[in-house]
């Protein structure tokens, strides 16, 4: 099942890249494995998956412990400051930095543990009350503040688009995030690059790719429906 799902996702990624005149290599597929047991991740690994996304620190650490070091882990969920110290040096990218206080904690712990952390700033483009992330207006200032901190590097932006029936409804959200990243890039802020745009999930990753996503986060489309929703 995972194998077939992966093949289908891969096909759709390629088609979306083609429509947008982009190269397949510009888009990284993050396989979102949250709530799935290690045995399912191993199944995915057997199909060639090596990049996983998790949204809970404890669950991610348990999986990192049990699986080979060669895997790449992405923290995509809301991160509490008191959990930051546990993931330093263990993740390729933290997608969900939504406050200066969280960035300060990451910077402090990274310095303390002698590592460097790459992060994305999470933007609540649609300004949904239920979602974490800062507004578009707040973004530039926050990026400028984070840029001054040691051992933390802003690599781009992330958003979780609204849950909609028709993915076309989210096209504007993705366009807005892309535009914001271009605006920030033009500011040439030291210690900031805008190479990563993490946007698009099972429901809407094709539209996200058409609008410039460089990382898509796909869970259900690969593992099937989760037993509970997070």
CA dihedral (149, 195, 165, 220) positive or negative: negative
Our finding on whether 74 is near ligand PLP (CB under 6 A) is no
Alpha helix positions (H), the chain: 2-20, 38-46, 57-66, 84-87, 100-113, 136-147, 171-186, 205-210, 220-223
Closest by CA position to 158, among listed 187, 189, 133:
133
Taking residues 162 to 191 in sequence order and writing x for each that binds ligand PLP by CB under 6 A, - otherwise, the string is ------------------------------
User: Would you tell me how many other CB atoms lie within 10 Å of the CB of residue 169?
Assistant: 15
Secondary structure of residue 83 in the 3-state scheme = helix
Our finding on whether 94 is near ligand PLP (CB under 6 A) is no
- 4-33 residues in contact with ligand PLP (CB under 6 A) are 32
Residue 34 is encoded by which pair of tokens? 């949250």
Q: Name which of 149 and 159 has its Cβ closer to ligand PLP.
A: 159
Least Cβ distance, residue 38 to ligand PLP (angstroms)? 18
Task: Identify the residue among 6, 9, 76, 120 touching ligand PLP (CB under 6 A).
Answer: 76
Taking residues 31 to 70 in sequence order and writing x for each that binds ligand PLP by CB under 6 A, - otherwise, the string is -x-x--------------------x---------------
Q: Name which of 175 and 220 has its Cβ closer to ligand PLP.
A: 220
Residue 53 is encoded by which pair of tokens? 């996304």
Q: How many CA atoms lie within 13 A of 143 on its CB side?
A: 29
- 186-225 residues in contact with ligand PLP (CB under 6 A) are 201-203, 217-221
Binding residues vs ligand PLP (CB under 6 A): 32, 34, 55, 76-77, 160, 201-203, 217-221
């Amino acid at each position: 099942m995972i194998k077939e799902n992966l093949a289908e996702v891969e096909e759709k990624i390629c088609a979306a890249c083609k429509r947008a005149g982009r190269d397949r290599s510009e888009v990284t597929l993050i396989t979102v494995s949250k709530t799935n047991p290690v045995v399912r991740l191993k199944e995915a690994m057997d199909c060639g998956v090596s990049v996983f996304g998790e949204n809970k620190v404890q669950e991610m650490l348990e999986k990192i412990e049990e699986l080979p070091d060669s895997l790449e882990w992405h923290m995509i969920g809301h991160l509490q400051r008191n959990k930051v110290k546990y993931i330093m040096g263990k993740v390729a990218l933290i997608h969900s930095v939504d406050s200066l206080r969280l960035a300060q904690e990451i910077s402090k712990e990274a310095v303390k543990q002698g590592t460097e952390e790459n992060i994305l700033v999470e933007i609540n483009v649609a300004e949904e009350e239920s979602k974490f992330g800062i507004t578009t207006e707040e973004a530039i200032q926050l990026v400028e503040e984070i840029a001054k901190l040691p051992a933390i590097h802003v690599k781009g932006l992330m958003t979780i688009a609204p849950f909609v029936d028709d993915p076309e409804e989210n096209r504007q959200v993705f366009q807005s995030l892309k535009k914001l990243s271009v605006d920030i890039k033009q500011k040439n802020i030291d210690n900031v690059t805008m190479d990563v745009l993490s946007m698009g999930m099972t429901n809407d990753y094709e539209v996200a790719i058409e609008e410039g996503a460089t990382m898509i986060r796909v869970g259900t489309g690969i593992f099937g429906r989760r037993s509970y929703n997070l």
